[in-house]
Structure 1
Amino acid sequence: MTISYPDVRLKKELESLERNGYQVNLIMWQRGWPLQLPDTVKVRALKLDAPTGDYRSIFYFPLWWAYLFTWLILMDWDVIHSVNLDTYFFGVLASRIKQKAVVYDIFDFYGDMMPERFRGLVVAIDRFLIGMADAVIIADDSRIEQIGGALNEEIITINNVPTADFNKEDQHNSRDYFKIFIGGKIIPERCIHLVLKAVDKLDDVQLTIRGYCGDKNYKKQLLEKAQGKDNVDLYLEGVPYQDIVDETLDSDLTIALYDPQIPNNRYASPNKLFEAMASGIPIIVNEDTSMAHIVTQENCGLVIPYQNLKSLVDSIRILQSQKKLHHLLGENGSRAYKDKYNWPVMEKRLLDIYDRIISTRLRVRVSNAQLMKA
């Protein structure tokens, strides 16, 4: 498996493969927040700190690509599981050299992250290479539209649902405040600054934020806004995933606001949505995103316009004051999680992919061997 930044989604897939008899090696660019992996996984990690989600990181990529491709050639493997175009390009190359299988796991469609003058070229390369994969994994059904249709016969959706144990024993009935929790990657487009403003306008609300912010300017801005606020608990250095689970379970509400002007955000399938479902709490999301479609379909939260402070304040106030509605939305999310969005369902899809790839490759090897004997 190859990835250019630590990510919980990869960890879930990796652990599922390990549990089911696959020996997993990982080549990764170790930067940003911590990622706790099983001891049985052999990790080749480039420990070079560089900004994530920042154009300046492009200057570090040649070092990463050299490191990645060197290990892909030196290591022995049967299938390469490449996350995103920046590792998949070299995965395709190595798979052709070694005549082995390659799985393309699209966390983000890179063409939609590029400046306009480069976008067309990157999209064209990505769409061309998609057809070379033995299988393609996407995080949400809507991403088929984003990548330009079914460009591969084997496209499988594996949603970003949690694998952790979400057993909510305490419903916090005795608590005299309403707790909002936000966890994960912290960037300007996710409107944490807006949530801080909203909390200023509300009574008896506690905001807890646990995540990683690689943008130094935005980090400084948030810390300054939170300074001196007794009802804000802010930590931006990255935390183990279990901390995210524990905080979500201990909360009354979570919020996921993603700028819909960024295409990858419109098609995002964030952990936060399914963590809220698993925890039995409502979530507030914004319009024009695939997660808004799920929230509306499952009736498990509220949908507001992006960057609309009044709507955000009103929505929090509604969920804080209307206990029956709060409970109903949480129950709906919990039911949807148990029925459709749990990890055993996703794990089966992942294992089915690998079973088909391995069996197909074995048939090809046997056929080639018979031809050579003939």
Structure 2
Amino acid sequence: MLKVCHMTSVHKRYDGRILKKECVSLVNAGYDVTLIVTDNKEDEIYRGVKITSIDFHPKNRLDRILNSKKRMLKKALNIDADVYHFHDPELIPVGIILHNKGKKVIYDSHEDFVQDIKEKVWIPNCIRIVLSFLFKYYEKISAKNFDMIITVTPHIVDKFLNYHRNVHMITNYPVVNFEDRKNNKRSDCNQICFTGLISPLWEHENIIKALNIMKKDDISYTLAGPSDEDYIKKLKDLDVNKRIKYMGVVDAIGVDIIQTHSVAGMAILKYSQTVGGKIGTLGNTKIFEYMYSQIPVICSDFVLWKEIIDKWKCGICVNPNDIDSISKAITFLKNNKLEAKTMGENGRRAVIQEYNWETQEKKLLALYAQIAGERVL
């Protein structure tokens, strides 16, 4: 049995992509899988995946970057796996050392970190530019040490193909229950929703501005998920007609209830270089989560997202900076319940047939079979 070790210093132990998708899929396929995480919680087994901690809870970002790598490497060497699969660019040095010890190493790049550095507002602009340039060079020369690179969306695949021959796309489509027959009844819906990490990236301010130009009692905006108190206050201060309902962090059942009773799910993501500008990304699951919940999507008009929305007729794409278009999209779905219902059904069918984790699981297992074959040789 091939022994596999996933490693993350940034993501939480119950991360959807790392643990609940990739690690669980590998366990179900018969691999011996351990996930090393950066926290100080007790070790446990999750659906066959052995989760082990480096017993270190960093005080801040810098503490993590400086002090987690040695602990991660020590734990990884003790596990003595055949394949190491790491998920954070700060673990590149760990991956290189493991490669030099004869291990198979996979770099799983969830984001375009070169562009991400440029957009980190907490770093002074002049330093950002230098750091981005240095990291681009560092990532390029380091890539040769890895047997495979996995990433989430086409424009990042294209970037890595410039300096690595073995690059593959494993997207973040949702895990679905093919036996679940959802039957939403939303005739009395009077809200739109957003479920997930609530941050300025999702253009909530523009959504509220769009709601402000609608009739006072027309529709409310329900948000559920982690957020900064100051940011929620900022949104509420902007909310002229008091439409916002912030539910805090809710569990999966609560998310399902919110989505089921919504006219539409909002996925209006900013144009930024981290998502390829107006190209967009398949690395974010937001639109697919709404589609699976059988509600229409109102989303940014990224090229990748618009192709999906147009193909399946499951929502409305808007320019994230166009307040009037956002308002019109919300109004249309609220006033055309039958068409909104059809869009929701179309989206659900699209995820069941095409945009689900099972399609990506097959790719992942094929890549691991390739690695396993090389390991035997």
TM-score past 0.5 threshold: yes
Change in Cα spacing, 1:174 to 1:298, as seen in structure 2 (3 Å) is closer
Unaligned runs of 5+ in 1: 52-56, 364-374
Work out which of the residue numbers 221, 227, 234 in structure 2 matches 1:207: 221
Tell me the distance in 2 between the aligned counterparts of 1:336 and 1:330: 10
For residue 25 of structure 1, what is the amino acid of its counterpart?
T
Could you say which residue in structure 2 is the equivalent of 1:253?
264
Could you say which residue in structure 2 is the equivalent of 1:196?
208
After the TM superposition, which of the residue ranges 309-318 and 252-261 deviates more from structure 2? 252-261
Is it true that 1:71 corresponds to 2:78 in the alignment?
no
Q: Give the drift of 1:107.
A: 0.7
Could you say which residue in structure 2 is the equivalent of 1:138?
151
Question: Counterparts in 2 of 1:135-284, with a 5 A limit?
Answer: 135-145=148-158, 147=159, 149=161, 151-165=163-177, 167=180, 169-175=182-188, 177-200=189-212, 201-202=214-215, 203-213=217-227, 215=228, 217-222=230-235, 229=242, 231-236=243-248, 238-241=249-252, 243-245=254-256, 247-264=258-275, 266=277, 267-269=280-282, 270-284=284-298
Change in Cα spacing, 1:239 to 1:89, as seen in structure 2 (3 Å) is farther
Tell me the distance in 2 between the aligned counterparts of 1:306 and 1:40: 40
Is it true that 1:62 corresponds to 2:66 in the alignment?
yes
Q: Give the drift of 1:355.
A: 1.0
Q: Give the drift of 1:352.
A: 0.8
Alignment check: 8 A CA contact 1:295 1:302 kept: yes
Change in Cα spacing, 1:227 to 1:27, as seen in structure 2 (3 Å) is farther
* Cα distance per residue 1:41-94 (max 9 Å; x no partner): 22215552667xxxxx23531122232222223322111111131224422322
Could you say which residue in structure 2 is the equivalent of 1:94?
98
Could you say which residue in structure 2 is the equivalent of 1:369?
none
For residue 102 of structure 1, what is the amino acid of its counterpart?
V
After the TM superposition, which of the residue ranges 288-297 and 75-84 deviates more from structure 2? 288-297
* Corresponding residue pairs, total: 349
Could you say which residue in structure 1 is the equivalent of 2:109?
106
For residue 66 of structure 1, what is the amino acid of its counterpart?
K
Could you say which residue in structure 1 is the equivalent of 2:350?
336
Could you say which residue in structure 2 is the equivalent of 1:368?
none
Alignment check: 8 A CA contact 1:226 1:234 kept: no
For residue 159 of structure 1, what is the amino acid of its counterpart?
T
* Cα distance per residue 1:314-370 (max 9 Å; x no partner): 11111111234323432332332222212211111111111110111111xxxxxxx
Tell me the distance in 1 between the aligned counterparts of 2:266 and 2:132: 30
Tell me the distance in 2 between the aligned counterparts of 1:67 and 1:354: 26
Alignment check: 8 A CA contact 2:267 2:297 kept: yes
Tell me the distance in 2 between the aligned counterparts of 1:157 and 1:220: 39
Is it true that 1:296 corresponds to 2:310 in the alignment?
yes
Alignment check: 8 A CA contact 2:35 2:49 kept: no
For residue 172 of structure 1, what is the amino acid of its counterpart?
K
3-state SS of paired residue (1:69)? helix
Change in Cα spacing, 1:260 to 1:23, as seen in structure 2 (3 Å) is same
Change in Cα spacing, 1:261 to 1:310, as seen in structure 2 (3 Å) is same
Could you say which residue in structure 2 is the equivalent of 1:123?
136
3-state SS of paired residue (1:254)? strand
Could you say which residue in structure 2 is the equivalent of 1:372?
none
After the TM superposition, which of the residue ranges 108-117 and 321-330 deviates more from structure 2? 321-330
Change in Cα spacing, 1:222 to 1:103, as seen in structure 2 (3 Å) is same
Could you say which residue in structure 2 is the equivalent of 1:2?
7
Q: Give the drift of 1:37.
A: 4.4
* Cα distance per residue 1:263-295 (max 9 Å; x no partner): 236443211111122222221111345334433
Measured on the aligned residues, the alpha-carbon RMSD in Å equals 3.0
Alignment check: 8 A CA contact 1:142 1:290 kept: no
Tell me the distance in 1 between the aligned counterparts of 2:233 and 2:281: 26
